[in-house]
Copies of this chain bind each other. A is one copy, B any other.
Amino acid sequence: MLLDNTARGVFVISATPFADTGELDLASLDRLTDFYLAQGAAGLTILGMMGEAPKLSPQESSLVLATVMARVAGRVPVVVGVSNPGLSALVALSQEAMAAGAAGVMIAPPPGLKTEEQVINYYALVCTALGADVPVVLQDFPLALGVNFSVPTLELLFARFPQIVMLKHEDWPGLSKLSRLRAGEVQKNTRRLSILVGNGGLFLPQELARGADGAMTGYAYPEMLVEVCRLHDAGERERAEDVFDAHLPLIRHETQPGLGLAIRKEILRRRGAIASAHVRAPGPRLDAIDQAELTGLMARLDRRLAQIG
């Protein structure tokens, strides 16, 4: 089951659960995987930034990979984040992932790249090293990475490297970028890429209207993302937006850089999906005020969802 341009729906960026002491909590990882699938995930993405991948040892990454692949057991495609400062480590993890049954790999540009020519050269290097049969998700996330892709650069990359089948779109602002990519595919008669949006889904209804195929993000209520996509596909756009807007206060809250991961893990913990909200050091922690504030926001969400039925 390899990833291709037709991928749609919600690929949940999986958190990596730890015990309060910082060790991997594989039992929680199983529980979390079940939780994501039960909420309607069309796919999973593991070992991404929000999965604290840079804080895992290679052995731990392998363990996470093996655990999730076994639990998913082929029910949905699994994308594996393999970004790494070194090419050989990137390739090694990719090969391990594909051998374990992954659907593809996700690659963010290294933070040091400055020109778009460097960006293009980087993906050329990586795609060549991986081999053309490994499907690649390109992560376009300038706010976090400091690397920018203009539309012509993306179009050039998609044209040169057919193995790039999906764009994880999290530029900000990025709405017109999405429209331009879709218009370009039509005008130039190029293949239609799978575009899943990130940034916690902060603009999901607008992005679906502009041609996104779904979301790849880790918002702690993935069932909402699934429902919004479903309603959008069914043509019930206002209803989709009603559901989305009910969640927006919490999405906004979870999208805070850095702190957001601690909030996300705490919500997952409260929802019973993981045992501990521990974020590996150095990392953010919620204090008592943060916790009370979150309690208030979650309660407001419940009330609002009850209102809209």
Contact = CB atoms under 8 A, between A and B. Distances in A.
A202 B249 CA distance: 9
Contact of A290 (B111, B125, B176, B241): B176
Interface in A101-130: 110-112, 114-118, 122, 125, 129
A249 B245 contact: yes
A51 to B, nearest CB: 13
Contact of A289 (B88, B150, B210): B210
Chain A residues touching B, range:
35 or more
A227 to B, nearest CB: 17
A58 B58 contact: yes
A175 B289 CA distance: 10
Interface of A: 22, 52, 54-58, 85-89, 110-112, 114-118, 122, 125, 129, 142, 148-153, 172-173, 175-176, 179, 202-203, 206, 209-210, 238, 241, 245, 248-249, 252-253, 256-260, 280-282, 287, 289-290, 293, 300, 304
A209 to B, nearest CB: 7
A220 to B, nearest CB: 17
A258 B58 CA distance: 26
B248 A87 contact: no
Contact of A259 (B142, B173, B206, B287): B173
A148 B293 contact: no
What is the copy number of this chain in the assembly?
Answer: 4
B172 A86 contact: no
**6 tightest CB-CB pairs across the interface, nearest first?**
A55-B86, A117-B150, A115-B150, A173-B256, A54-B85, A87-B281
A147 B248 CA distance: 29
A173 B260 CA distance: 9
A152 B70 CA distance: 47
A84 to B, nearest CB: 8
Nearest to A151: B117
Contact of A179 (B58, B110, B122, B289): B289
A214 B150 CA distance: 33
Given A115-B148, A152-B117, A249 B252 contact: no
Contacts of A256: 172-173, 175
A101 to B, nearest CB: 23
Contacts of A172: 256-257
Contact of A88 (B22, B173, B293): B22
Contact of A87 (B86, B252, B282): B282
A248 B202 CA distance: 11
Contacts of A289: 176, 179, 210
A282 B89 CA distance: 11
Contacts of A245: 245, 248-249, 300, 304
Nearest to A114: B148
